[in-house]
Structure 1
């Protein structure tokens, strides 16, 4: 789950996505993305799909086709599309803007999925992580939503970028001034 950073988008959402998203309560759809440079093994991709299915929540998974597959659809677990029809979608590409460490550990706007000794995650550990974030009454869910609000307020605050630029110029001027005094 990533916070929405803009109230209004410059580019309207495609009708397909708009119609699909409007079928769910606001804040109830889980978004999962690995970035365009990350390729899952087919078995791990299927574990991801099955874990998201186990949550029982609507979800959107944006990934590249797994290694050895030309499309995500051909790599889906058997019967998956029929079982989750209407409450999931798996587009082919998406970019992740922030790293997992930043999102989960520093900003606490997401959670890490626990991995097995093999380095892979299980469908159950994925389910548990998603449910912990989506639980409106749970401690983790409350923390993540509170941090989403805080991050959004910070990122959309007027003068954020110009404030950083002004501070950078101030530091440079001080360094130049201090260098001249030496």
Structure 2
């Protein structure tokens, strides 16, 4: 059932299902389900670390978070096992992981030139640069990142997006002469690119990411270490988690939160050269593969037990 509908009350009362699974943000769903004597299960689409961190701030103001590797810097104020346990304590409910909901890429002909470009590069010699579909870089950020990838001297493919409806000339947004100077070492794509297909390609050795949870999951699934460049919302916490796992290195900003090209270049080179982030990313990928459908199977069994218990009460 899609509990994102504005008619949640009507749906629950008319259909009276055996079980309601609702999105974390739908705060009305649990009370409505309870009023109809229906069990309810929250479906969290965010990381347990981020959720427990912010719930800790809300429930325990002024108390230090028990896992010190997860924190926010001053300017930011403006895998998961211990965070899941702590989240269970905070919300007084059982938290069940459902596993990474990441599909394998589907081979299609879209952006064929990207795959051909990647095929011409050495294994693990390139970085993929993308900041998701909902965050748009400021002109200053775009300039520093452009200079940073140029200074790094590594191969890169960069997906650049502008807000819908805004007419921005790509060449004007990038440093003067940038597209000419990078030559075949870099490819700049405007709009969209097949992210999972790119991350899975053998020539990709690093992912410059804003650390949205979906991107973090995809990077882990394909064993790609992350050049962490969080922007806002849950991204700083996600970045701290990845760094604590050893599968990425964060690009440090100045005290005002600004990116600096030298730091961008340094971290890109570090992730592509050092063994630890690559090894940790590979271990995460192997662990996810080994687990397979174990977690989601556990969720299904748990839901069946809930429904069975409810049916006996009736």
Structure 2 length as normaliser, TM-score? 0.46
Instruction: Report the alpha carbon displacement of residue 69 of structure 1 after superposing the two structures with TM.
Output: 5.7
Tell me the equivalent position of 1:26: 123
Greater fraction strand: 2
Classify 1:82/1:11 alpha carbon distance in 2 versus 1 (closer, same or farther; 3 Å).
same
Q: How many residues align?
A: 168
User: What is the DSSP-based 3-state SS (H/G/I as helix, E as strand, rest coil) of the residue aligned with 1:35?
Assistant: coil
RMSD of equivalent CA atoms: 3.2
Distance 2:173 2:167 in 1: 6
Distance 1:17 1:34 in 2: 18
Tell me the equivalent position of 1:62: 159
Question: Where in structure 2 are the equivalents of 1:167-182 lying within 5 Å?
Answer: 167-171=298-302, 173=305
Alignment gaps of 5+ in structure 2: 1-101, 196-211, 217-234
Residues 41, 66 of structure 1: 8 Å contact kept: no
Question: Where in structure 2 are the equivalents of 1:1-182 lying within 5 Å?
Answer: 9-12=105-108, 14-65=111-162, 70-93=168-191, 97-99=214-216, 100=235, 101-102=237-238, 104-135=242-273, 141-157=274-290, 160-161=292-293, 163-171=294-302, 173=305
Deviates further, 166-175 or 111-120: 166-175
Query: 1 or 2 for the larger relative contact order (CA 8 Å, sep ≥6)?
Result: 1
**Structure of larger gyration radius:** 2
Distance 2:182 2:120 in 1: 14
Residues 28, 134 of structure 1: 8 Å contact kept: yes
Alignment gaps of 5+ in structure 1: 136-140
Classify 1:10/1:35 alpha carbon distance in 2 versus 1 (closer, same or farther; 3 Å).
closer
User: What is the DSSP-based 3-state SS (H/G/I as helix, E as strand, rest coil) of the residue aligned with 1:90?
Assistant: strand
Distance 2:112 2:160 in 1: 21
Distance 2:163 2:187 in 1: 16
Classify 1:155/1:93 alpha carbon distance in 2 versus 1 (closer, same or farther; 3 Å).
farther
